Structure 1
Amino acid sequence: MPSHPPKKKIPGLADDDYYYTPEGFVVFTASYHLKRGYCCRNGCRHCPYGFKKKG
């Protein structure tokens, strides 16, 4: 089983702005996206702006 680096606090972000997947990836929450104030149009998992990536 692969080992993942320890989950670290990301400076400048609140705890409710992101979480780590079991694979070790950072996922931004809808709360983070709303604080940022715009849609990046990348099809984020928790996009509060309704953008869905095609294909």
Structure 2
Amino acid sequence: MTPAAERAHATAVAAGRDFYTDPDTGLMVMTSLYLKNRGYCCGNICRHCPYDRGEQPTKN
């Protein structure tokens, strides 16, 4: 991840936003805040997944 993308993520999380636009690709990216609040890992290797591998909860 580029420094610009890291800054965009940090800014979005600080503002309580669920998504941000990646400044390098223009794609919408889910923040770690959104992923944590969702409550489970989807297994899609999200960029900001807050769950550790091997400890990822599964969807019921």
TM-score norm. by structure 1 comes to 0.59
Partner of 1:38: 40
Listed as ranges, the gaps of 5+ residues in structure 2 are 1-14, 54-60
More helix by share: 2
Aligned pair count reads 38
Q: Give matches, 1:14-25, under 5 Å.
A: 16-22=17-23, 23-25=25-27
Identity between Structure 1 and Structure 2 (%): 53
Report the structure number with the largest CA radius of gyration.
Answer: 1
- Partners in 1 of 2:35 and 2:43 — Cα distance? 11
Letter in 2 for 1:27: V
Q: Structure 1: state its 5+ residue gaps.
A: 1-13
For the aligned residue pairs, the C-alpha RMSD in angstroms reads 1.8
TM-score (norm 2): 0.54
